[in-house]
């Protein structure tokens, strides 16, 4: 499975990856700080980072989920928000809106069971 995060979400996918690895899953964690820079890379590089044959992909975005489907594919899952206006310390918001390692790990396991 591939777990993708950017910016403040990378620590979440790292922890989810550690949890899943300790349970025997093969996990790749990808930090994707810029879609634009990633998309400018040669196709061979992009395929090496996000192998097309690995369809169990989860991304996490503390902002809007729109656009992540390009990287997780039709079989993947994006965890994020579809609204604005919340204000609190980051760790409080992440917990309240389910942007946690546990949520990412559960989504990844669900994808593997479904596929």
Backbone angles phi, psi at 59, to 5 degrees: -115, 155
User: What does the pLDDT look like over 42-71, one tens digit per residue?
Assistant: 999 999 999 999 999 999 988 788 899 999
Backbone angles phi, psi at 97, to 5 degrees: -100, 10
* Residue ranges covered by each domain of the chain: 2-114
CATH code of domain 2-114: 3.40.50.920
pTM over 0.85: yes
Within a 13 Å sphere around the CA of 97, how many CA atoms are in the beta-carbon half?
Answer: 23
DSSP string over 40-56: TS-HHHHHHHS-TT---
User: What does the pLDDT look like over 21-33, one tens digit per residue?
Assistant: 999 999 999 999 9
């Amino acid at each position: 499975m591939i777990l993708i995060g950017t910016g403040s979400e990378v620590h979440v996918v790292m922890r989810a990856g550690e949890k899943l690895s300790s349970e025997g899953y093969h996990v790749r964690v990808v930090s994707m700080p810029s879609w634009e820079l990633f998309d400018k890379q040669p196709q061979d590089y992009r395929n090496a980072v996000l192998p097309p044959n690995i369809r169990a992909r989860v991304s996490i975005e503390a902002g809007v989920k729109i656009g992540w489907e390009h990287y997780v594919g039709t079989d993947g899952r994006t965890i994020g928000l579809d609204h604005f206006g919340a204000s609190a310390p980051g760790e409080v918001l992440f917990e309240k809106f389910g942007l946690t390692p546990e949520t990412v790990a559960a989504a990844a396991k669900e994808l593997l069971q479904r596929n």
